[in-house]
Amino acid sequence: MSFKMLIQTIPLLLLALLAIAILIPACAPHFDSTTRTKEYKTVLTKTQGSVPGSKESLNAFTSFLQKIDDKSYVEANAAKVYAPDAYLNDTLVTHHGSEQIKAYFLNTAETMTHYQITVDDTVTSGNEHYVRWTMVFSAPKLNGGKPVESVGMSHVRFNSAGQVIMHQDFWDSGTNIYGQIPVLGGVIESIRRRFEK
């Protein structure tokens, strides 16, 4: 093969690789929002007997949120803050039990180069606790390593020992995580612009 033919072939190979990179995820099973919603509602029903929780329980939870970038803190406190049968859905993943939750936060801490969460407000209504927060984080593979800022809310319930038994986050993970990934972020942004029209 001549050098000229090789140079002419490279763009075609790159185009083929790009097509494969786009088509493989498109052929993957589609996200089933109905399943996630049903799971959340099932957990709500299952944890209806939760207790109001104390100010100390809520403070322990918010302190934990603010320190998930500290691996030694997560290691020492995850099982204190989360019940052995706790449920966590942060819109990206779902985990069950304090050990899975601890492993998830340890992995998260490993991938971040910067993390800060500010608790903007908390509201308690009976057994329901809502924590509104602003998060700024950086990771090498997101947004070129530059900070990403997001707002969100956590819905939390506690057991009689003051541990979190249910933790459901509400935030825009599509824009703030997937939207920061090269190429994929551009696709998400173009879809978002279409909806704005």
Residue 2 lies in a domain: no
**CB-based burial, 69-90: b 16+ in 10 Å, e otherwise:** beeebbeebbbebbbeebbbbb
Q: Give CA–CA dist 139/180, Å, rounded.
A: 10
Question: Tokens in use for 192?
Answer: 């978002």
Residue 150 lies in a domain: yes
Provide the domain count of the chain. Answer: 1
Residue 69 lies in a domain: yes
pLDDT at 120 over 60: yes
Question: In which order are the strands placed within the sheet that holds 94-96?
Answer: 94-96, 82-89, 164-171, 148-158, 128-138, 114-125
Rg over alpha carbons for the chain, rounded to the nearest Å, is: 21
Q: Give CA–CA dist 16/119, Å, rounded.
A: 47
Q: Which amino acid is at 54?
A: S
Residue 136 lies in a domain: yes
Q: What is the mean pLDDT of residues 113-142?
A: 92
Residue 54 lies in a domain: yes
Question: Higher-confidence residue: 105 or 24?
Answer: 105
> CATH number of the domain that 124 lies in?
3.10.450.50
Q: Residues 148, 136: contact at Cβ < 8 Å?
A: yes
* Nearest alpha-carbon partner for 53 in 168, 164, 166, 169: 164
The string of pLDDT tens digits covering residues 33-92 is: 788 889 989 999 999 878 888 899 999 999 999 999 999 999 999 999 999 999 999 988
The string of pLDDT tens digits covering residues 157-182 is: 999 999 999 999 998 654 444 444 45
Domain housing 166: 31-196
